[in-house]
Amino acid sequence: MEKIIVCYKWVVDENDISVDYDGNIKMREPSYKVSLYDRNAIEAGTQLAEKCGAQCVALTAGDAKSEKSRKEALCAGPSEGFAVIDDALESADSLLTATILSAAISKIGDAQLVICGEGSGDVYAQQVGPRIAAALGWPLLTYATSIEVDGEKLRIKRDGSEGTELLEAVLPLVVTVAGDCNTPRMPGLKDVMGAGKKPFTIWSPSELNCSAEELVNGLATMEIIGNRPDRKNIVIKGSGKEAADEVIRGLISEGVLG
Amino acid sequence: MSKQVLVFSELVRNIPELITAAKSLSESVSAVVIGSEEDAKLAIACGAQKAFLVDVVADTPSEAYASTIAAIVRDADASALLASLTPKGRAVAAFVAQMLNASCGSECKTIQKIDETYSFSRAIYGGKATSFERASTEVFVATIPLRSFEAAASDQTNQGEIIRVASQAATYPVKIVEVVPREGDSVDVTTASVVVCVGRGVVKEDDLPMVNELAEAIGGVVGCTRPIAMDFKWFPQDRYIGLSGKSIKPKLFIGVGVSGQIQCLAGANDSKVIVGINKDENAPIFEYSDYGVVADLYEFVPALIASIKSL
Amino acid sequence: MDFDFTDEELLFQKHLREGVERLIAPGFKERWHYDGLNRDLLPPLKELGLLGFAWPEEYGGQGVILPDIMHGIAFLELGRADCSSSIIFGATVECAEVLMELGTKELQDEWGPRLATGEAYCGYCFVEPGMGTDLGNIQTRGELQEDGSWIISGDKASVSFCTSDAFIVAVRTGDQPGAYGVSLFFVPADLEGVSVSIYEDFGMKEIGRGGVALRNDRVPAKYLLGEREGGFKPIMHIFDAGRPALALMCIGAAETVMEQCVEYCKQREVFGQKLSKYEAISFGLIEHKTKLDLAKMMAFKAFWLRSQKKWNAKEAGQAKFYGCEAAFESIWFCTRAFGHLGYTSEYDALYRLADVMGFAWGDGSWEVCKMVAARDEFGEEYLPYTRRKRTDAVSK
Residues of A in contact with B291 (CB under 8 A): 232, 234, 236, 247, 250-251
Angstrom distance (rounded) from CA C318 to CA C57: 36
pLDDT tens-digit series, residues C27-53: 898 888 887 899 999 999 999 999 999
pLDDT averaged per 10 residues in sequence order, chain A, 258 residues? 95 87 84 94 97 96 96 97 95 94 96 95 90 97 94 89 90 93 92 96 92 86 87 90 93 84
Chain center to CA of A69: 14
Are the CB atoms for B257 and B201 separated by under 8 Å? yes
Measured in degrees and rounded to the nearest 5, phi and psi for residue C90 equal -60, -40
C154: alpha, beta or left, given left = phi > 0 and alpha = psi -120 to 50?
A: left
Task: Write the DSSP string, C311-379.
Answer: --HHHHHHHHHHHHHHHHHHHHHHHHHTGGGGGSTTSSHHHHHHHHHGGGTTTS-HHHHHHHHHHHHH-
pLDDT tens-digit series, residues C340-359: 988 988 788 999 999 999 99
The pLDDT value recorded for residue A220 is 93
Q: Which of C8, C47, C62 sits opposite A186 (nearest CB)?
A: C47
3 state DSSP class of C302: helix
The pLDDT value recorded for residue C388 is 63
B282 shares contact with chain C (CB less than 8 Å): yes
Max Cα–Cα distance, chain B, nearest Å: 62
Angstrom distance (rounded) from CA B270 to CA B253: 10
Are the CB atoms for B107 and B145 separated by under 8 Å? yes
3 state DSSP class of C42: helix
Calculate what percentage of chain C has a pLDDT beyond 70: 97
Strand ranges (E), A95-139: 111-117
Residues of C in contact with A72 (CB under 8 A): 11, 14
Given a cut of 80, whether residue B184 has pLDDT beyond it is no
Mean pLDDT of C183-189: 96
The residue of A166, A227, A241, A242 whose CB has the most chain B CBs within 10 angstroms, and thus the best one to mutate to test that interface, is: A227
Q: Which residues of C265-294 are buried (b: 16+ CB within 10 A; e: fewer)?
A: bebbeeeeeebbeeeebeebbeebbebbee
Percent helix, strand, coil in chain C, to 5, is 55, 15, 30
Question: Do A223 and B132 count as a contact with CB atoms less than 8 A apart?
Answer: yes
**Going by DSSP bridges, is the β-strand pair A200-203/B29-34 parallel, antiparallel, or unpaired?**
unpaired
Angstrom distance (rounded) from CA C78 to CA C328: 17
Q: Which of B123, B180, B181 sits opposite A166 (nearest CB)?
A: B180
Angstrom distance (rounded) from CA A3 to CA A106: 12
Question: Do A189 and C70 count as a contact with CB atoms less than 8 A apart?
Answer: yes
CA-nearest of A140, A112, A132 to B64 is A140
Q: If pLDDT is split at 50, 70 and 90, which confidence band does C395 have?
A: very low
Q: Which residues of C9-33 are buried (b: 16+ CB within 10 A; e: fewer)?
A: bbbbbbbbeebbeebbbeebeebbe
Given a cut of 80, whether residue C120 has pLDDT beyond it is yes
Given a cut of 90, whether residue C329 has pLDDT beyond it is yes
The DSSP code for A228 is P
Q: Which residues of A104-134 are buried (b: 16+ CB within 10 A; e: fewer)?
A: bbeebeebbbbbbbbbbbbbbbbbbbbbbbb
Element (H, E) at C288: helix C279-307
Q: Mutual orientation of helices C279-307 and C313-337 as an angle, nearest 10°?
A: 160
Mean pLDDT of B186-201: 89
The pTM (predicted TM-score) of the whole model is 0.87
Mean pLDDT of B124-143: 92
Question: Do A219 and B92 count as a contact with CB atoms less than 8 A apart?
Answer: no
Angstrom distance (rounded) from CA B134 to CA C20: 43
CA-nearest of C317, C363, C300 to C67 is C300
Residues of B in contact with A235 (CB under 8 A): 281, 286, 292, 294
Q: Which residues of B260-286 are buried (b: 16+ CB within 10 A; e: fewer)?
A: bbbbbbbbbbbbebbbbbbbbbbbbbb
Residues of A in contact with B286 (CB under 8 A): 233, 235
CA-nearest of C15, C2, C25 to C86 is C25
Measured in degrees and rounded to the nearest 5, phi and psi for residue B194 equal -130, 130
Q: What is the CA radius of gyration of chain B?
A: 21
Which residues, in sequence order, are CB contacts of A109 under 8 Å at separation 6+?
Answer: none
The pLDDT value recorded for residue B263 is 66
Q: If pLDDT is split at 50, 70 and 90, which confidence band does C389 have?
A: low
Tell me the count of A-C CB pairs closer than 8 A: 36
Given a cut of 60, whether residue B93 has pLDDT beyond it is yes
**β-bridge mates for residue B256, sequence order:** B198, B277
The pLDDT value recorded for residue C266 is 86
Given a cut of 60, whether residue C396 has pLDDT beyond it is no
Q: If pLDDT is split at 50, 70 and 90, which confidence band does B86 have?
A: confident
Angstrom distance (rounded) from CA B67 to CA B165: 12
The pLDDT value recorded for residue C390 is 63
State the smallest CA–CA distance between residue A192 and chain B in angstroms: 28
Residues of C in contact with A29 (CB under 8 A): none
**β-bridge mates for residue B31, sequence order:** B7, B51
Calculate what percentage of chain C has a pLDDT beyond 90: 79
Tell me the count of B-C CB pairs closer than 8 A: 6
CA-nearest of B50, B56, B4 to B31 is B50
Q: How many other CB atoms are found less than 10 A from the CB of residue C56?
A: 17
